Amino acid sequence: MSNAHDFPVIVQSDRSILLETDGPSFEDARDAIASFAELVKSPEHIHTYSITPLSLWNAAATGMHAEMVTNRLAAFSRYEIPDNIAFEIKDYMSRYGRLKLYKLEDGQLVIEVDDPMLLVQLMNEPSIQQYAKKSVDGKKILVDPGDRGNIKIALIKIGFPVEDLAGYVSGAPLELAFREETLTGKPFGLRKYQRKSVDAFYMRGSNHGGSGIVVLPCGAGKTCVGIGAIHAMQTQTLVLTTNTLALRQWKNELLDKTDLTEDQIGEYSGESKEIRPITIATYQVLTYRKSKDSPFVHFGLFDQGNWGLVVYDEVHLLPAPVFRATASLQARRRIGLTATLVREDAREEDVFSLIGPKKYDVPWRVLEKQGWIATAHCHEIRVPLSAEERYSYAIANKRGKFRIASTNPEKIAVCRRLLKKHQGDNVLIIGQYLDQLKEFADELDAPIITGKTGNKLRDELYTAFRTGQIKLLIVSKVANFAIDLPDANIAIQISGTFGSRQEEAQRLGRILRPKSDEAIAHFYSIVSRDSSDQEFSIKRQLFLTEQGYKYNIMQAEEV
């Protein structure tokens, strides 16, 4: 006889889905609903998902239809699915595919509409009129090829996503092969979930594939997925990264795992402007302009190479100006790599329209359970402000309060105790304020890396950390992204950026590479008790607690 645990899903009329974790059907139910609903939070006992228009359109883009979604819900639902939810699933999913964008033989683009009255409605929308040249045959809208991205954004904002079947340019060919062994002698091959990511993106070169987002946790090898996409397409590629350090890491990974040579990989940054078959650029150089009203100097890079693929690393951080350039890149295949689709500017719809729908997603805790990322324990340590600091805090403005609390001198003593506790471990101390970091470096006699540290010295310090010559490294916000330090197993965060959930996830990601001795990683966040530092810390933690991580709250005297 079945019991409640066999039906762990509760679908509610506000579009939320509750999933109980205590039962034999939990994992099957989680896998069933993850493809069409977004995870909101996942603490110990009940996970919460949300059904949104965007999550349903993501599902529709992978080939799912409304009946499949409702059947999956019904198979695990304890109660009957509310009528309004069943209706909305059918309504929203039916909208995907009602508008199909394709290319005519003469190169012009048309959007085919399945209903003449819908075409009339669209042609009378002011946001659409500026991109729609004219209607044809009562069922088609003629679009200038240069507005392919712009009209896709305009249409999704009024609730009608376009299925883009206009195809892609092939780009210049580039032959490359995977190495069976890396340059360091380690065997190499894409992991199963990395191969699935590439296959879901590429879809054997069909017009249904070739643009989209792959969501994998920090430390899960998103760079390998990007390299896998380049390998699948065998085409010249533009890779966009967050900073020069990430750029160099991409170059090293390409050389380490493929038979590409140095002269085939170009660096396009503030220091160098090389155009090669694989060109790796930073978002910073692309968004450089001489003044606020000047044009972006380097946007021409998008047209300088015969790119068949554009890779957007850390796509959740894609600067807003780059969306403008991306709108004109719709004829090139595009893959976005990220640990989270959450954007602080809430432009997830633009990512869907311009980069593509979510093609593959693996939760953090799933890969942790499979051993692909390290098991991590998260801790928040609350430190009191001294009487003098409390007075300064009380009379300061909002920004001043945050800085005073973040740079609380009492944090150094706690940090010393943590270092003693983890003596012999590989420790990163990460912070926001340079004067605070320099003080820690002096007090702890430790090397420091900031944005002003030259690339040569950075590389030397990172190498010394990797080889064990240095066991403690103090780093600024440059540590949020692309530091490849697989043996780092302790991170101590002494200050952060207000309530940035992305930052908390990225910083934890620095210690999630699986350890050779299967050691548990520890992430410590030291905050000033009863202050804005503590309040913002709770906000920063939100993304990780949604992923199932628990924070152990400790007082300073307990360390």
pLDDT tens per residue across span 141-187: 999 888 999 999 999 999 999 988 888 888 999 999 999 998 888 89
Asked if residue 2 has pLDDT above 60, the reply is no
Alpha carbon distance 48, 31 (integer Å): 14
Query: The whole model's pTM is what?
Result: 0.80
State how far the Cα of 460 lies from the Cα of 462, in Å rounded to an integer: 6
Angle between helices 53-61 and 83-95 (to 10 degrees): 50
Alpha helices in 424-485 (DSSP H): 434-444, 455-466
Q: To which residue do tokens 């949604």 refer?
A: 546
Please give the DSSP secondary-structure letter assigned to residue 175.
-
CB neighbourhood size of 517 (10 A): 6
Question: What residue ranges define each of the domains in the chain, with the CATH number in brackets?
Answer: 4-95 (no CATH), 99-164 (3.30.70), 192-368 (3.40.50.300), 374-558 (3.40.50.300)
Residue that is written with structure tokens 């762990």 in the block = 8
* Assigned token pair, 414: 């706690």
* CA-wise closest residue to 41 among 550, 549, 546: 546
How do residues 36-77 score in pLDDT, each as one tens digit?
998 877 777 888 899 999 999 989 988 899 999 999 999 999
Where do we find the tokens 């991580």?
549
Other CB atoms within 10 A of residue 191 CB? 16
Q: What is the pLDDT of residue 446?
A: 95
How far apart, in whole angstroms, are the C-alpha atoms of residue 490 and residue 425? Answer: 7
* pLDDT tens, position by position, 94-127: 999 899 998 888 878 999 998 999 999 999 999 9
| pLDDT tens-digit readout, 209-258 | 789 999 998 788 999 999 999 999 999 999 999 888 789 889 999 999 99
pLDDT of residue 1: 44
